[in-house]
Amino acid sequence: MALLTLFDLAAGWPLALLSASVTLVLAYASWRFVEAPALKQKVWVSRWLSSHIAGLGSRRGVGTEAAVRRDEPGNNLTGTIEAGAAE
């Protein structure tokens, strides 16, 4: 719609070629200046997040409490079903 307004073109091949070329230029610019640099930071950000999230969980004791609760006999669906069947 913007190209129709700016260049006063009728719908057809000239409009299709112009819009395809503009799209390719913008796609390349997006890859070159946004996506590729972001992918280079992916490893660093992933390591940073992992260390900070793991640190939060260990300070609050989340990991150890969850392991204890998971191993309790009546704290799972199978144990609940077996307890109901035994009654």
Q: Quote the radius of gyration of the chain (alpha carbons, Å).
A: 29
Each residue's pLDDT expressed in tens, for the chain with a length of 87 residues: 787 778 777 778 888 888 899 999 999 999 999 999 999 888 888 888 888 887 776 665 555 455 545 555 555 555 555 555 555
Q: What is the pTM of this model?
A: 0.48
Contact 25, 44 (CB under 8 A): no
Instruction: Determine the residue type at 79.
Output: G
Q: Which two tokens stand for residue 36?
A: 């590729």
Contact 15, 4 (CB under 8 A): yes
| Cα 48-51-53 angle, rounded to 5 deg | 105
Tell me what pLDDT residue 62 has: 52
Tell me what pLDDT residue 37 has: 92
